Amino acid sequence: MSDDGVRRNIADVSDADRIRFRNAILELNARKYQGRRNDQPLAGGVSYWFKQDEIHQATHVHGGPGFLPWHREIVNRFEALLREIDPGVSLHYWDWRTDPVNGPLDLFTQEFMGASQGEA
């Protein structure tokens, strides 16, 4: 397993590392903030994964000059949350010059990123 913190092409990552990555995402989605969903100003009772999306949606940077730096930051924050669960996990990238379904590795399987058809 690669615990070196290097982001790699996910198609080149070992099965064991893909499973660790998937399990960290699932655990991140299972961990909840304290409180209730209708708490103001910050909703509680939502997963860490949900909160990241909530923060992302609240920034209003799409179409503006902050788009690229903000998305770099949100990706870094996401990776940091994953590493709180498993310090050896890295947020790898997909090289979209290759087909993620029919390429060297089908990324969209029930065991990894969900089915390529229907709900993920």
Domains in the chain: boundaries: 1-111
The CATH architecture to which 1-111 belongs is Orthogonal Bundle (1.10)
Distance CA 93, CA 8 (A): 6
pTM across the whole model: 0.74
Kindly state the percentage of the chain with pLDDT values over 90. 12
Of the candidates 27, 33, 53, the one whose C-alpha atom is nearest the C-alpha of residue 45 is: 33
More confident residue, 86 or 34: 86
Angle, CA 15 vertex, CA 53 and CA 71 arms, to 5°: 25
More confident residue, 116 or 18: 18
What average pLDDT is seen over the chain? 80
Residue 106 structure tokens: 């089908």
Tens of pLDDT, residues 28-80 = 888 888 888 777 766 778 888 787 887 788 877 888 888 899 889 888 988 99
Kindly state the percentage of the chain with pLDDT values over 70. 80
Q: Confidence band (pLDDT; 50, 70, 90) for 100? A: low
User: What pLDDT score does 80 carry?
Assistant: 92
Average pLDDT of the segment spanning 77-92: 91
